Amino acid sequence: MTLLTNPDGYSTVFPGGQHANFPRPLPTQYHEFFEEFAALPVLAANGGRWTHTNTNGTLAVTSPTSLTQTLGGASGDLSQLYFTTATHTLVAGKKAFFRAKVKVAQTGGTIGIENLFFGLAAAETGTNFLLADGSALASTNCIGFFSNVTTAAIDLVARAASVQTLVGATTTYVSGTSMELGFDFDGQTATFYRDTYVLGSIKTNIPTAALSPMLFIKEGENHARVLTTDYLWLAIER
């Protein structure tokens, strides 16, 4: 019997599909982080890596395993979950992959009148992360999916040293509907996906500073909001 061996690994996805270049059987070639929220994230105050910055925002784990970030119902309420110390770095010529399954639900009001960010970002908060009026990001370094406070449209964004490339309104979200958002970085270009569909790509202003996984929601009207995350996955080539 002959064994077939490929030291580069094998993909489970058709060429051109989301994460097709990630060689899953070779985890030692990648630094991986996978959070499926089987329990509350261990916060830094309890010896863990996560920090939760919030204004009337609470964390909970639902069944099956999902994290909820619930806002109290006043304009300006927010919940921001990120690593206390940003340690993940995108490097030219090295691959990286990100994926998160999320949904947003509102109680009253209009869906879209909130700020969202999912992706990687510097560990910044307040107006260092988002402009006070919610119209745009202020983060020095980030890459991912952003929605401003006036619309349910989702933009693709990359910011390096406060210089931004943005691809606007690539998709929209509706209340209570899950979406899997992710990007593949091939060492030069980041290609963004919703579920299995390509939304667009960015190859300028890819950040090279240390970044953290980031889940962010901020309320823009006086109604409650819940951000639910099923899982978050990140892999960066060593």
Look at 31-40, 85-94, 194-203 and tell me which has the smallest mean pLDDT. Answer: 31-40
Q: Write down the number of H helices and E strands in the chain.
A: 0, 15
Written out in words, the top-level CATH class of the domain with range 28-54+69-237 is mainly beta
pLDDT beyond 80 at 63: no
Q: What is the mean pLDDT of residues 193-198?
A: 95
Listed residue (94, 2, 81) closest to 41, CA to CA: 81
Report which secondary-structure segment, H or E, holds 79. Answer: strand 78-83
pLDDT of residue 24: 61
pLDDT-derived band at 1 (thresholds 50, 70, 90) equals: very low
pLDDT-derived band of residue 44, with 50, 70 and 90 as boundaries?
confident
Residue with tokens 């690593």: 83
- pTM to 2 decimal places: 0.90
Q: Where are the domains of the chain?
A: 28-54+69-237
User: Taking the C-alpha atoms of 70, 218, 116 and 105 in order, what is their torsion angle to the nearest 10 degrees?
Assistant: 40
Nearest to 11 by CA among 24, 27, 28, 26: 24
Tell me, what DSSP letter sits at residue 31?
E
> Does residue 46 sit in helix, strand or coil?
helix
At residue 29, the 3 state secondary structure works out as: helix
- pLDDT higher than 90, residue 17: no
pLDDT tops 50 at residue 197:
yes
Residue 18 has pLDDT above 80, yes or no: no
